[in-house]
Structure 1
Amino acid sequence: MTQKVLLTAAVTGAGATVDKNKYVPVTPKEIADSAIESAKAGATVAHVHARDPKTGGISHNLDHYKEIIERIRESETDVIINITSGGGGDFIPNLSNPSTGGEGTDMQTPKERHEPVGSLLPEMCTLDCGSVNFGNMVYMSPTEWLREQARLIQESGVKPELECFDTGHIRFAKQLIAEGLIDGDPMFQFCLGIPWGAEADEETMMYMKNRLPENAHWSAFGIGRMQMPILEMAAQYGGNVRVGLEDNLYLGKGVFARNEQLVDQAVTKLHASNVEVMTPQEARIYFNLRNPYGGGK
């Protein structure tokens, strides 16, 4: 029987990538258009971060998210929308006063992080399941904050994708499940290769997979040059997959990518392994996602 997977296109992310690849979408229209083109290329899901249209930097502006989602939903191309709920977690200590954040710090409360999800009700959202050294900063998601976010997501009826940047995050995600804060079959995502979280290799991926609840669905993605190797490994072991400019800027050595090109490359590799990509409607049914057009699940 042919295996089917959910393929996510993470079209922009929040990192400082705009000056590195001119194809990284910035404005709400560019982000929506990139999500639509990715769906046409075969993506099941578009994972969305908003950007400041003037600077290209991170944006928490609800109007930016609203425009992105409206443009996607009003298009003739169907795609599941997955909004980040991990914004506002970047802490860079001020060396002269370590108890305060220095330049580049961007912190939000759990309620503020949840606002785009709760207001716009996508089918899915990410939930980053712990703090981690992230490059030269600390990404902060304390446990009580995560419990509050999980409650808010649960009340909204949006399906959380439990993002795990290290092995301890799986332990805490399972604690959220045990406390009744995650409904239905949980969806995990292994975020591999981010400095300084879990390694992007087969051993690490399998270690994380083997610690999931029996009823869990899972996905994995790799950063940079490990994007396609992790995609192929995840599909080989029954996982779902993700590509996109949030995680990797290149189509090949020295060749900058567009999101739809990375999706097309992923689909080609999956087909070569006898793996098919779920349509958005197939995925909504299979994962019991809410109906974005009304009428509940």
Structure 2
Amino acid sequence: MHHKIVNLAPTGMIPTREMSAHVPLSIDEIVEDCRRCAERGAATFHLHARDANGVPTYDRQIYARLIGGIRETHPDAVICVSLSGRTFTEFSERSDPLRLEGDLKPDMASLTLSSLNFSQTASLNAPDMVRRLAEMMAEREIKPELEVFDLGMVNYAHYLADRGLLKPPYYFNVLLGNVATAQATPTHLAAIVSSLPTNSLWCGAGIGGAQLTANAAGLLFGNGARVGLEDTLWYDRERAQPATNVGLVDRVVSLAQTLGHTIASACEVRQMLALAPHA
């Protein structure tokens, strides 16, 4: 438990240049941010692609350039592509990044286990969509990054695992603090974590002002923390100090060290998650 995973979510679907001067949007900006954060301890990268206008895209060619750019300098980095349901509704769109091959194939892909509401938008994940994405990941040998916002989503992970669509060790991001789902409180976290399948690893992620609380919980009681501008654009609850990805990684690494933990290297994360070494 002492080796902690730092998982960076640098961009997300929502942030724009107007919302943050620091959010990486272009391919070069995202790659550069990920490289800088890898130097500081981030081992896993949860990527969202943007097109030339900064608009979210599922296009595997853009994901290919992101993955290739990061692996050029950090070949062992664990790379996860987003299959988000906020904007794209067709299976062919959402599964597009799973079709990458060879050196550009992602290690992991996000799988949100149910539909949910955010503050302004919804993420639609119909049962058939979740199952089909899980089936394709199993076929392609891409590990699901299981996104859990609520207790029912954990139950759906059991449902998929019982049907052979998920294989241990399981990896969960437990996302707390979103207005319509579980909060960053001991009772909500305990209900979720105590229900995870055996042979699960989990990282604490917090939306907005809950990020630091959820990160601390993940470092104290789980396997690490997910940080990044996808989840919060501010260092502080008062929203006085704009955040950067590098600054958020530095803060969580420092916190882990204060708590007496070491940061897992990318190779160690691969061993923890039973991922193949990168060719």
TM-score range, shorter chain: over 0.9
Q: Distance in 2 between matches of 1:62 and 1:183?
A: 25
Q: How far does the alpha carbon of each residue in 1:207-257 deviate from its partner, in whole angstroms, 9 at most, with x for none?
A: 100111122111220112221111111221133211111011123452212
1:49 is matched with 48
Q: Pick from 155, 158, 174 the counterpart of residue 174 of structure 1.
A: 158
Q: How far does the alpha carbon of each residue in 1:14-69 deviate from its partner, in whole angstroms, 9 at most, with x for none?
A: 11443111110011111111111111111111110011232x22122222111111
Q: Distance in 1 between matches of 2:30 and 2:52?
A: 10
Q: Residues 77, 225 of structure 1: CA spacing in aligned structure 2 closer, same or farther, 3 A cutoff?
A: farther
> Does 2:112 correspond to 1:113?
no
Q: What SS does the corresponding residue of 1:6 show, helix, strand or coil? A: strand
CA contact under 8 A between 2:76 and 2:277: conserved in structure 1?
no
1:219 is matched with 203
Instruction: Flag structure 2 segments of 5+ consecutive residues without an equivalent.
Output: none
1:131 is matched with 115
Q: What SS does the corresponding residue of 1:177 show, helix, strand or coil? A: helix
1:37 is matched with 36
Q: Distance in 2 between matches of 1:110 and 1:210?
A: 32
CA contact under 8 A between 1:126 and 1:161: conserved in structure 2?
yes
Q: Pick from 168, 182, 186 the counterpart of residue 170 of structure 2.
A: 186
2:261 is matched with 275
TM-score, normalised with respect to structure 2? 0.93
CA contact under 8 A between 2:81 and 2:108: conserved in structure 1?
yes
Instruction: Flag structure 1 segments of 5+ consecutive residues without an equivalent.
Output: 91-105
Q: Give me the CA root mean square deviation.
A: 1.6
Q: Aligned partner of 2:142: which letter? A: V
Equivalent pairs counted in the alignment come to: 274
Q: Distance in 2 between matches of 1:290 and 1:134?
A: 34
How much has 1:195 moved relative to structure 2?
A: 2.5
2:247 is matched with 261
Structure with larger Rg: 1
Q: Aligned partner of 2:57: which letter? A: S
Q: How far does the alpha carbon of each residue in 1:143-198 deviate from its partner, in whole angstroms, 9 at most, with x for none?
A: 11111110000111111111112211111111000000012221122111123121
1:100 is matched with none
How much has 1:110 moved relative to structure 2?
A: 2.5
1:14 is matched with 13
How much has 1:260 moved relative to structure 2?
A: 1.1
TM-score, normalised with respect to structure 1? 0.87
CA contact under 8 A between 1:118 and 1:152: conserved in structure 2?
no
Q: Aligned partner of 1:108: which letter? A: T
2:272 is matched with 286
Q: Residues 78, 33 of structure 1: CA spacing in aligned structure 2 closer, same or farther, 3 A cutoff?
A: farther
Q: Distance in 1 between matches of 2:11 and 2:127?
A: 27
2:181 is matched with 197
Q: Distance in 1 between matches of 2:250 and 2:64?
A: 27
Q: Residues 231, 158 of structure 1: CA spacing in aligned structure 2 closer, same or farther, 3 A cutoff?
A: same
